[in-house]
Chains A and B, each alone.
Chain A
């Protein structure tokens, strides 16, 4: 079974530029999560989707971050404009549904903002 796919794996941009990340969850998984993991810290939830609806975006910095999951399958996360403190690994995870606790993570996108 294919796992969670993410691209790109690495991205280097300058501050104030824009960047987008893509995630394709495990087939059949209704719930999709985006996390931000800063070096030395645990993953922090940015947004949770159930199919194409947002369940929780309380920790998403909405002035610069946006995410969508238009068809209820793959998802994009965008940062516009980027700040130095956005340097982190952006992890996408999926689960069968909101009531299922086990989350399967993708390999992440490592973002460096210069």
Chain B
């Protein structure tokens, strides 16, 4: 079993749709959690951190469920520019990052 698992998708949604991605992790001692975004043939970039209390940044909402060992990312009012691969990242310690294989999102006009 992989340490971090994501549904690879692809998710194909129309503009304006709401879409959610889930990610599960196996190590209960994991300390911190993130979502990175990776555009096609580009490097990953930090999208947002995920806190126990949940956090929101504009159209993006991230939540953590430690009891069930999963994190989620919700994107509201999808834009064409949201098309990318979203990588779930789990740290067992600061700097020790395990990346999921990513979920691909395509937003269509």
Contacts and interface: CB of A to CB of B under 8 A. Distances in A.
Contacts of B96: 45, 48, 56
Interface stretch (B12-20, B41-49, B61-69, B71-79): B41-49
Contacts, number: 51
A1 to B, nearest CB: 15
Interface residues of B, number: 21
Contacts of A102: 46
A48 B92 CA distance: 14
A42 B95 contact: no
B49 A43 contact: no
B94 A43 contact: no
Given A56-B96, A101-B91, A107 B101 contact: no
Interface in B54-103: 87, 91, 94-102
